Amino acid sequence: MAATMTAADIAQRDERAVANALKIRYTPFVMERGDGGRVFDGDGRSYLDFAAVWCLSGLGYSNERVRSAVIAELERSTFAGLVSGINQPAVELAERLIDLVPGDWEKKVWYGLSGSDASEAAMRLLPQATGRNRLVSFIGSWHGTHDGTMGLSAHPSLTGVIGGANVVKAPYPDPCHPPFLGGARNLTDQCLHYLEHYLFRTICDPQDVAAVFVEAVQSDGGDVVPPPDFMPKLRALCDRHGILLAVDEIKVGLARTGRMFAYEHGGVEADVVLLGKSLGGGLPVSAVVARREVLDAATGGALFTASGYASGCAAALAVLDEIDRLDLVAQSAANGAYLGECLRQALGDFEIVGDIRGLGMIQGVELVNDRASRAPNQPAAAKVVYRAWELGLIVYYAGNWGNVLEITPPLILTRAEIDEGVAILHQAIRDVLDGKVSDEAVAAFAGW
Ligand SMILES: Cc1ncc(COP(=O)(O)O)c(C=O)c1O
């Protein structure tokens, strides 16, 4: 029966049966299957994927080795978690992740099922491990959608939730939208000086701060790449006050930026590394890799029945193998630079394109009313994304003001596919400027 349904039929049923609470929709796209860097709807239409389901599908779709690893584990029917029993894939994965995360100190690994779980576990265990109750995060950050992690985050779409009483939010050095009147010069110093010499002296004693949570590229905040001195200076600030550094690599980690972890671009080490999304190769798997004393702070203090389930860990092991085998760190660096260059060449002359930035295979195209005002143009982003879907490209928009086309393709995309996707984006912007997408067409899609 399902096979004879059209994509439009399924979309209608989704509208009636599936909760809006979990929807950020841009188009009525119905995914029937995926292959490599392409996805297909039930009507046989093929789309190039510039979104990778918010970076879930780092390896693209239908990866044979990941699939085989999962099937092999399911056939053993272990259904094993780690809470009250031990399974080998989980232990092996923990050892792999410990080796992968830079830092010559004793580490352990914690498992959850979503990125939010990982952030939540870290924000719970860090105060217990350090005896310090406060946390610092950055404005524009997205660390999760549990009550705790919404309070830890500081993205405009999450600020309706009042939470995070123990979290102090500091300005992020966004070169395109500098938070202080001084503009983009000395941006890192402006932001970190405010944290260290104002917030720490007024509302937040640094001796009470367990950790600073940070994204080395702030993705949902608008694919913001901070200045190169930000991570080293933040690390130094943490060290001055005995504060641990927790980096959220859930979206940008595992080869996307051209390093295994995005924070490595800053030449620093982290005390806590959060992983999720692409780690499970399509299955829900997240992890925290951290100093032993953090993750051992409270036995049984952060767990789920399925934490560390064997088939998920087997999938993650296969994902790590594939990143090595396909040399995806180097490929993301090279193809990401190519992608950025193509975007600048193809889109840079449009008056509504205010900025193009990124690191490796995460790029953001900021749409504005005009370059003089740089006022965010969210309606144009909604229409471009919709038009791109009509033309055969899946892409989303994000950002603090919902006006940044977020380009995070599967890491396996070829240069020919990059060319194809950028050409569609160009056409989509041209068509929107020519009035080919009506307000009514996008009205049903709240987006962000
Ligand atoms: C940087 C970052 N951290 C955490 C999360 C939360 O991950 P999840 O949606 O899997 O809970 C997200 C999700 O978008 C994210 O982008």
Are β-strands 167-170 and 134-138 bridged in parallel, bridged antiparallel, or unpaired? parallel
Q: pLDDT for 172-195, tens place per residue? A: 999 999 999 988 899 999 999 999
- Show which of 270, 295, 325 is a domain's final residue: 325
Tell me how far the alpha carbon of residue 54 lies from the centroid of ligand 1, in angstroms: 9
Q: Are residues 333 and 275 in the same domain?
A: no
CATH of the domain at 214: 3.40.640.10
> Which of 116, 279, 286, 404 to probe ligand 1 with, by most ligand atoms within 8 A of CB?
116
Q: Taking residues 244-250, what's their average pLDDT? A: 98
Strand blocks (E) in 74-215: 107-112, 134-138, 167-170, 209-214
Segment 386-402, tens digit of pLDDT? 999 999 999 999 999 99
* Other beta carbons within 10 Å of 136: 25
Same domain, 187 and 205: yes
Residue 345 maps to which CATH number?
A: 3.90.1150.10
Domain match, 197 and 174 both: yes
**Concatenated DSSP letters of 393-433:** EE-EEESTTS-EEEE---TT--HHHHHHHHHHHHHHHHHHH
* Confidence category of residue 1, pLDDT binned at 50, 70, 90: very low
* Residue 360 confidence class, pLDDT cut points 50, 70, 90: very high
Q: Whose CA is closest to atom 8 on ligand 1? A: 115
Q: Name the residue type at position 94.
A: A
Q: Does 448 fall in a domain? A: no
pLDDT the model gives residue 163 = 87
CA 217–ligand 1 middle distance (angstroms): 13
What is the structure's pLDDT at 42? Answer: 84
pLDDT band at 159 (very low <50, low <70, confident <90, very high): confident
If asked whether residues 71 and 197 sit together in one domain, one would say: yes
Does 89 reside within a domain? yes
For a ligand 1 pocket test, name from 256, 277, 448 the mutation site with the most ligand atoms within 8 angstroms of its C-beta. 277
CB under 8 Å to 249, separation ≥6 — which residues? Answer: 216, 261, 262, 263, 273, 274, 275
83 domain-assigned: yes
Mutation to probe ligand 1, out of 56, 142, 283 (largest number of atoms < 8 A from CB):
142
Handedness of CA 69, 289, 50, 340 (dihedral sign): negative
Interval 77-103 mean pLDDT: 94
Mean pLDDT of 86-92: 96
Does the residue 112 lie in any domain? yes
Same domain, 217 and 141: yes
Provide the pLDDT for residue 183.
84
Using the atom order of ligand 1, give the atom closest to the CA of residue 114. 10
The answer to whether residues 79 and 151 belong to one domain is: yes
Instruction: Looking at the structure, tell me whether residues 265 and 392 fall in a common domain.
Output: no
What pLDDT shows up at residue 194?
98
Which residue type occupies 188? T
Task: Provide the pLDDT for residue 184.
Answer: 86
Q: Would residue 202 count as lying in a domain?
A: yes
- Pair (14, 104) in one structural domain: no
> How many Å apart are CA 377 and CA 79, to the nearest integer?
48
What percent of the chain has a predicted confidence (pLDDT) above 70? 99
Claim to verify: residue 307 and residue 380 sit in the same structural domain: no
Q: What is the pLDDT of residue 233?
A: 98
At 77, the pLDDT band (50, 70, 90 cuts) reads: confident
Cα separation, 157 vs 390, whole angstroms: 27
Does 174 reside within a domain? yes
Pocket of ligand 1 from Cβ distances under 6 Å: 54, 114-116, 119, 142-145, 215, 219-220, 248, 250-251, 276-277
| CA nearest ligand 1 atom 16, residue | 251
Of 280, 310, 325, at which residue does a domain stop?
A: 325
Whether the per-residue pLDDT at 3 is higher than 80: the answer is no
Residues 11 and 69 occupy one common structural domain = no
Structural domain boundaries, residue 45:
2-59+327-443
Atom of ligand 1 nearest to the CA of 252: 1
Count: domains in the chain? 2
> Quick one: 435 and 338 in the same domain?
yes
Overall size of the chain counted in residues: 448
CA of 432 to the centre of ligand 1 (A): 30
**Residue 86 confidence class, pLDDT cut points 50, 70, 90:** very high
Q: Is 319 found in the same domain as 253?
A: yes
> Would residue 278 count as lying in a domain?
yes
Residue 197 lies in a domain: yes
Residue 15's Cβ-side half-sphere holds a number of Cα atoms within 13 Å equal to: 12
Whole-prediction pTM: 0.97
Report whether pLDDT(4) > 90.
Answer: no
The residue from 291, 307, 325 where one domain ends is 325
